[in-house]
Amino acid sequence: MNFEDTPQEAAFRAKARAWLEKNARLRPADEIAPNLLGERESADVIQRAKDWQTKKFDEGWAVLTWPTEYGGQGLGRLEAVVWGQEEAKFDVPPNIYAIGHGMLGPTIMAHGSDEQKQKYVREMARGQVVWCQLFSEPDAGSDLAGLRTSAVKDGNDWVINGQKIWSTGAHFSDYGMIVTRSDTNAPKHAGLTYFIVDMHAKGVEVRPIKQINGGSGFNEVFFSDVRVPDANRLGGVGDGWRVAITTLMNERVAIGAGGGAGRFKDLLKLARATKRGGRPAIEDSAVRQKLADFYIRSKGLQFTGYRTLSALSRGATPGPEGSIGKAVGAPLGQEMASFAMELQGVLGAVNDRGVSPQDALWQEMYLGTPGIRIAGGTDEILKNIIAERVLRLPPEIRVDKDRPFREIPTGSVKG
Amino acid sequence: MNLEFSEDQKFVQHTAREFLAKNAGLDVCRKVLESKTATSDPGLWKGVAEMGWLGAVVPEDLGGAGLGHLELVLIAEEIGRSLAPIPFSTSVYLATEAILLFGNDAQKQQWLPRLASGEVVGTFALAEGAGEPDLASVATRFENGKLNGTKLPVFDAADAGVAIVVSQGAQGPVLALAELAGKHVEKTALESFDPSRTLAKLVFCDAPAERLGDGGGAAAIETLLDRAAVMTGFEQIGGATRAFEITREFTLGRYAFGRPIASFQAVKHRLAELYAQIEIARSNGYYAAWALSTGNEELALAACSFRAAASEAFEKAGEEMIQLHGGVGFTWEYDCHLFYRRAKWLSASLGTPSAWREKLIQRLEAKGAALVDDGE
Ligand SMILES: Cc1cc2nc3c(=O)[nH]c(=O)nc-3n(C[C@H](O)[C@H](O)[C@H](O)COP(=O)(O)OP(=O)(O)OC[C@H]3O[C@@H](n4cnc5c(N)ncnc54)[C@H](O)[C@@H]3O)c2cc1C
């Protein structure tokens, strides 16, 4: 049991820090780190993000845990955490690779052919090309295996038709990973096939969707007779569900606690700066109790994450702890934002960076965190997963599991 | 960084679990709880002493096992799982720990071997009636080698032969060591919310006592409480986990509407939430145990966080246990109330969750700008 850096970790931290100091601006302690939830980044920001990634790649600081043959550094997850902690202290462009590097790269490495791995993974690490995840559909979100976008074999190609939705970053992506239905006579999980698609191909149309926070980080993506070579198939025909599961398993780890847990210090600052009954809010015992509760849960989540890492770095599969992060962390972030706005009293209603405390950080967070509770598995789905996979409680009753897909009834969200 | 216990430490835990499974079934707890006269299970106390747990962190030349606190917290977790009806937490984490930390050589020689062998039970007297104990308002006086005042409630006091008493000396709070035999100390048993663990009122009337080492002072007493909070927290995690496991088993075996109640989503989600709460508390515990075992200054924050989280996790587990058992959960015959009672008793024993949350914020404020967010 040791919470401190080992000598190797300390040396790695110092090296990372030195490189960052040479190449980026250290954010002063009193500067609020920007809130990056679903902004529609400008072409200029995207290019800066890509250039930062390529610089890291060229100098040995990109995708640290990936094997060297794919552009990584073959390092452990603990080093990646150390790197992340240090990089977060610097003013660097937004990370537009959470999906590609966190989920899609690992999926190609796990299921791709040698040719696919050679062709895509290194380029993905270098970052001049960006990838998106094309899973959800208007009628298939939590019930992802209910998806309907069709893939029909035609010679050496597949022809894809249908609609994907909520595709984060599709508007600046060059490639996407898509799950399609290739057989409607098979039961729903058995008729799926997974592909890599070129987002610039003919028949792919990306339309932004405006989110509740005014940003447009995600999109609708329409496929009209899009031809995809069979060489782009990942895994076997009809084996798409298994491949998709790899992506989803990585997704929960990649999303992690998301948003709230790292903001405690900002919340404490706010409680000191705002007044209640003429006195600093921090002197109010109800406020103190709440703050303590947030601190305790945030820390507990952070250490739970470290437990997972400790298990992983010894080569064990992550314990149950892995699935707790997002299930607890996402609602916690929303609760913290809500409380921060309450602390602001009437100013809670002001969403004006010039007037609202801390550059309207909390207003933006309160508008952003509901998305985190839905993306990558809703709170409810995650609790089902903890209950079934970790606690081994009986699965949900499935009325559609063994029937041919085309016979399954459906309702629609459109209205 | 490594957040796992070593193989040797896990072995200590495994041995403890086996021993307690054999010697401290829930029937042992129930027997004391239902008895009008028993204050603990003497056989179990003796067995635990023979295992070396009472002197786990006492040096070998003073009759202890010479283990570290990382081993002791794992033993604590097992004690917590078993709901052992013995005054372990007070005697080991408070009385023995206090003498180890602050006693002078003569006091260590005199008391540690007897505490480690189980011959003497130690207790710790802090509270003086309603509210959260706070050092500044302690009224019990310690002057010229004499103690005067009333302590209530005193946890695990029934069988105790020696007490570490938080009292007011000439220059503020000090720790005094007093033997409890003799006519200068009056001990009155109080009805306990968890009758498998005792409570008493102690009235000191010119009771002879000595200062523990150079007496501690407020900061030292706070450190003692922090350390005890971490160890007690592991008992609470143990109790919570066991309550959770029993409840899970029950929901798998109980049928309603033609299926196990564990298959209803409302039940599954409650169990998932409880599980997450316990694991998050446990993670805070690992951090606190590391700080305890290394003497790291982070202990001041980690102890508060863990103690509050562990108390609430065990309380919640007791509540959910009864609810998910349905009617039988509300019967005397089922064991749910054993957990429900123990959870509340342990929560109150060293300051409630809200007291530890308040302490946490005081300490965070004192830390001020040095506070960093390194959360993911
Ligand atoms: C910000 C954001 C980014 C996203 N990015 C991507 C992306 O890049 N690529 C992509 O493919 N998708 C993406 N998604 C989609 C996301 O994965 C889905 O929105 C999510 O899985 C939920 O599906 P749904 O929206 O269809 O809601 P539904 O599945 O219809 O859920 C509606 C409600 O019903 C509940 N519910 C559903 N099933 C159950 C059940 N079995 N038990 C209990 N409750 C249930 C849900 O919890 C929810 O509260 C993103 C979503 C968001 C919000």
Task: Indicate if ipTM > 0.90.
Answer: yes
Asked if residue B56 and residue B143 are part of one domain, the reply reads no
Q: What is the average pLDDT value for chain A, to the nearest integer?
A: 91
Please tell me if the CB atom of residue A410 comes closer than 6 angstroms to any atom of ligand 1.
no
Residue A321: which pLDDT band, with cuts at 50, 70 and 90?
low
**Is the pLDDT assigned to residue A259 strictly greater than 90?**
no
Percent of chain A with pLDDT over 70: 93
pLDDT of residue B340: 98
For residue B61, the domain's CATH number is 1.10.540.10
Residue A320: which pLDDT band, with cuts at 50, 70 and 90?
low
The residue ranking higher by pLDDT, B371 or B8, is B8
Residue A219: which pLDDT band, with cuts at 50, 70 and 90?
very high
For residue B143, the domain's CATH number is 2.40.110.10
Report which secondary-structure segment, H or E, holds A176.
strand A175-181
Weakest mean pLDDT among A98-112, A177-191, A396-410, B85-99: A396-410
Please tell me if the CB atom of residue A194 comes closer than 6 angstroms to any atom of ligand 1.
no
CA distance B229 to A119: 56
Question: How far is ligand 1, taken at its centre, from the CA of residue B272, in Å?
Answer: 19
Asked if residue B335 and residue B248 are part of one domain, the reply reads yes
For residue B294, the domain's CATH number is 1.20.140.10
**Is the pLDDT assigned to residue B373 strictly greater than 70?**
no
Count other Cβ atoms within 10 Å, centred on residue B291.
23
Asked if residue B349 and residue B227 are part of one domain, the reply reads yes
pLDDT one-digit tens code per residue, B325-338? 999 999 999 999 99
Please tell me if the CB atom of residue A371 comes closer than 6 angstroms to any atom of ligand 1.
yes
Cβ within 8 Å, pair A292-B358:
yes
Residue B147: which pLDDT band, with cuts at 50, 70 and 90?
very high
**Is the pLDDT assigned to residue B240 strictly greater than 60?**
yes
Residue A113: which pLDDT band, with cuts at 50, 70 and 90?
very high
Instruction: Flag whether B1 is in a domain.
Output: no
Instruction: Flag whether B154 is in a domain.
Output: yes
Strands (DSSP E) contained in chain B are 121-125, 141-143, 146-155, 160-169, 172-179, 185-190, 199-208, 210-211, 255-256, 259-260
pLDDT of residue A257: 45
Running DSSP on this structure, what letter comes out for residue A168? T
Instruction: Flag whether B2 is in a domain.
Output: no
- The domain boundary residue, chosen from B154, B189, B211: B211
pLDDT of residue B161: 97
pLDDT of residue A253: 67
Mean pLDDT along residues B111-139: 95
Asked if residue B364 and residue B246 are part of one domain, the reply reads yes
pLDDT of residue A251: 78
Asked if residue B368 and residue B258 are part of one domain, the reply reads yes
**Is the pLDDT assigned to residue A412 strictly greater than 70?**
no
**Is the pLDDT assigned to residue A174 strictly greater than 60?**
yes
Asked if residue B243 and residue B190 are part of one domain, the reply reads no
Asked if residue B181 and residue B307 are part of one domain, the reply reads no
Q: Which among A1, A309, A393 has CB closest to B289?
A: A1
pLDDT of residue A33: 73
pLDDT of residue A322: 67
CA distance B7 to A196: 45
- The domain boundary residue, chosen from B188, B211, B234: B211
**Is the pLDDT assigned to residue B376 strictly greater than 50?**
no
Contact (Cβ atoms closer than 8 angstroms) between residue B198 and residue B189: yes
Cβ within 8 Å, pair B269-A387:
yes
Mean pLDDT along residues A319-343: 87
Residue A293: which pLDDT band, with cuts at 50, 70 and 90?
very high
pLDDT of residue B314: 98
Asked if residue B90 and residue B21 are part of one domain, the reply reads yes
Helix or strand or coil: residue A317?
coil
pLDDT of residue A318: 60
Instruction: Flag whether B283 is in a domain.
Output: yes
Mean pLDDT along residues A359-374: 92
**Binding-face residues of A in 205-234 toward B, CB within 8 A:** none
Q: Which residues make beta-bridge pairs with A229?
A: A157
- The domain boundary residue, chosen from B158, B183, B211: B211
CA distance A85 to A294: 20
**Is the pLDDT assigned to residue A258 strictly greater than 50?**
no
Asked if residue B19 and residue B70 are part of one domain, the reply reads yes
Residue A208: which pLDDT band, with cuts at 50, 70 and 90?
very high
> How many structural domains comprise chain B?
3
Cβ within 8 Å, pair A264-B259:
no
Mean pLDDT along residues A345-360: 91
pLDDT of residue B375: 43
Range of the domain at B317: 218-373
Weakest mean pLDDT among A247-261, A330-344, B248-262, B335-349: A247-261
pLDDT of residue A414: 56
pLDDT of residue A277: 87
CA distance B107 to B112: 8
- Walk me through the domains of chain A, giving residue ranges and CATH numbers: 7-96 (no CATH), 131-248 (2.40.110.10), 256-390 (1.20.140.10)
Token digits of residue A351: 């969403």
Asked if residue B182 and residue B315 are part of one domain, the reply reads no
Q: What is the pTM of this model?
A: 0.95
Atom of ligand 1 nearest to the CA of A376: 17
Mean pLDDT along residues A363-371: 92
pLDDT of residue B115: 98
Mean pLDDT along residues A340-357: 93
Residues in chain B: 376
pLDDT of residue B371: 63
- Name B355's Cβ contacts closer than 8 Å, sequence gap at least 6: B132
Residue A282: which pLDDT band, with cuts at 50, 70 and 90?
very high
Mean pLDDT along residues A156-165: 98
Question: Catalytic site residues of A?
Answer: 251
Percent of chain B with pLDDT over 90: 92
Asked if residue B92 and residue B131 are part of one domain, the reply reads no
Asked if residue B368 and residue B295 are part of one domain, the reply reads yes
pLDDT of residue A408: 87
Strands (DSSP E) contained in A8-123 are 25-26, 90-91
Cβ within 8 Å, pair B3-A310:
yes
Percent of chain B with pLDDT over 70: 98
